[in-house]
Amino acid sequence: MPFCAVILDEARDGVLLRDIERLNDILASVVQRDSPEVHDIFTRFRQHGINRQADVDDEAPLQRMIQCAKDLTNENALGVMRCFSIALNLVNSAEVHHRMRVLRQYELEADRVSTDGGPLPMTEDSMRGTIQTLLDKGHTKDEIFDAIMKQKVEIVLTAHPTEVNRRTILLKYKKVSEQLAILDRPDLNPYMEAEATGALKRIIASIWGSDEIRRTKPTPQQEALGGIAIIESVLWDAVPEYFRKLDAQLKLSVGDRLPIDAVPISFSSWIGTDYII
């Protein structure tokens, strides 16, 4: 039985369920080794919840859960709450990876029915699909190119002094998604699988052994570090890569390339402005 129950369609979400069970099993082993009593109490809470869900008219599971909560010591209450929090965050990490997996599969299937070999997916909500839709409606390539050159997107980096999640913990959950992606590789050999699984165990153990929330109000410098982390981990690679794909797609679809001085995406920030009086 998995450590944290999630209601999913097994036929549709089988691979996601597999990932969640893998993460739950690792978390369960970590908690059981470190705090068997907390593990047992959490398991009882979870079973009461499952029984209550199975028959909402049966008050007995709810009453047993209430009594179990009344009997908790402060230390065990904290441990059980951390179990719930980490388990649900691990589910989120699995879902992040699953969304990327489904999106990639969708893009591959869309590309199979296309013959132009464009770098962007032939989907309705992509630049490639949008250009093709406009061409099909009779717009000229010059009109489409001029309209694209007028589009501007501004990404605003924000932060807030009440943010309680530590940056290092958020990065650990991101690494969980990355290791799940490695385990999805079709060319995975036993050594690579063991290494990725071992990495997951170390990451989850470090999450369990860490304080997940920030205890003091961050300084403007700490907020800035959080913004820089977003740039380093996501934007630094993703934005230039998209520009290269957009440039190649424009060349293929409308015969023009992205001008070297084009700035379709710009950045701004209000990090630290909460401190301004």
DSSP secondary structure, the chain, as one string:
--SS-----HHHHHHHHHHHHHHHHHHHHHHHHH-HHHHHHHHHHHHHHHHHHH-TT--HHHHHHHHHHHT--HHHHHHHHHHHHHHHHHHHHHHHHHHHHHHHHHHHHHHHT--S--SS---TTSHHHHHHHHHHTT--HHHHHHHHHH--EEEEE---TT--B-HHHHHHHHHHHHHHHHHT-TT--HHHHHHHHHHHHHHHHHHHTS--B--SPPPHHHHHHHHHHHIIIIIHHHHHHHHHHHHHHHHHHTS----TT--SEEEEE-TTGGG--
pLDDT digits 0-9 by tens, 75-99? 999 999 999 999 999 999 999 999 8
44 or 8, which is more confident? 44
Mean per-residue pLDDT for 137-156?
92
Task: Using pLDDT thresholds of 50, 70 and 90, give the confidence band for residue 125.
Answer: confident
pLDDT at 259 over 80: yes
Mean per-residue pLDDT for 201-215?
86
Q: What are phi and psi of 115, to 5 degrees?
A: -115, -5
Mean per-residue pLDDT for 129-151?
92
Task: Using pLDDT thresholds of 50, 70 and 90, give the confidence band for residue 271.
Answer: confident
**Helix (DSSP H) and strand (DSSP E) numbers for the chain:** 10, 2
Mean per-residue pLDDT for 38-46?
91
Q: Which residue type does 104 have?
A: R
Mean per-residue pLDDT for 110-129?
71
Mean per-residue pLDDT for 161-188?
82
Mean per-residue pLDDT for 50-77?
90
The rounded mean pLDDT for the chain is 84
- Cα angle 7, 10, 12 (rounded to 5 degrees) comes to 105
Residue 160: predicted pLDDT:
60
CA atoms of 254 and 153, how far apart (whole Å): 21
pLDDT over 90 for what percent of the chain?
46
Residue 33: predicted pLDDT:
94
pLDDT at 3 over 60: no
CB 250 within 8 A of CB 203: no
CA 122 to chain centre: 24
**Which of 33-42, 114-123, 161-170, 227-236 is most confident?**
33-42
CA atoms of 232 and 226, how far apart (whole Å): 10
Task: Using pLDDT thresholds of 50, 70 and 90, give the confidence band for residue 143.
Answer: very high
CA atoms of 108 and 118, how far apart (whole Å): 12
Mean per-residue pLDDT for 201-208?
95
Under the phi-then-psi rule, with left for phi > 0, alpha for psi from -120 to 50, and beta for the rest, what region is 259? beta
- Cα angle 199, 177, 106 (rounded to 5 degrees) comes to 140
pLDDT at 266 over 60: yes
Residue 136: predicted pLDDT:
92
Residue 1: predicted pLDDT:
43
Residue 154: predicted pLDDT:
92
CB 141 within 8 A of CB 253: yes
18 or 114, which is more confident? 18
Mean per-residue pLDDT for 193-211?
93
Helical pair 10-34 and 190-208, crossing angle rounded to 10 deg: 60
Task: Using pLDDT thresholds of 50, 70 and 90, give the confidence band for residue 221.
Answer: confident
